[in-house]
Amino acid sequence: MNRNMMKQMQQLQAKILRTQEELGHETVEGSAGGGAVRIVMTGHQKVQSIAIEPEAAEDIELLQDMLLTAFNDAQEKVAALVQKRMGPLTGGLGIPGL
């Protein structure tokens, strides 16, 4: 591998690391029940907050379903965010974990 290619690989690695770090500071919101349950999650899939409207707590089974739906919605949004940020860097290489 020549020096120029090594330098490009190092630059790409630095961009990927920087983007991964930035994802930890970005958030998405998943919701269910028309916003009765909302979950805020970082780009690292860490839940930051859960908000539940009082009327959503009246039916525990429904609340459980809404929590699952909101969590899954947030995870899907994180996956889309990661693809949006990392896709251009990895060029569709399918690198696991990115």
Q: What is the pLDDT of residues 55-64, one digit of tens each?
A: 999 999 999 9
Give a yes or no: residue 69 inside a domain: yes
For the segment 72-77, the average pLDDT, to the nearest whole number, is 96
For residue 14, the model assigns a pLDDT of 87
The number of residues making up the chain comes to 98
**C-alpha to C-alpha distance for 90 and 98, rounded to whole angstroms:** 8
How many independent structural domains does the chain possess? 1
Cross-strand bridge partners of residue 52: 37
| Cβ pair 26, 81 in contact under 8 A | yes
CATH number for position 69 = 3.30.1310.10
Rounded to two decimals, what is the model's pTM? 0.77
Give a yes or no: residue 21 inside a domain: no
Domain that holds residue 80: 26-85
For residue 25, the model assigns a pLDDT of 92
Give a yes or no: residue 81 inside a domain: yes
Give a yes or no: residue 37 inside a domain: yes
In terms of average pLDDT, the best of 14-18, 66-70, 90-94 is: 66-70
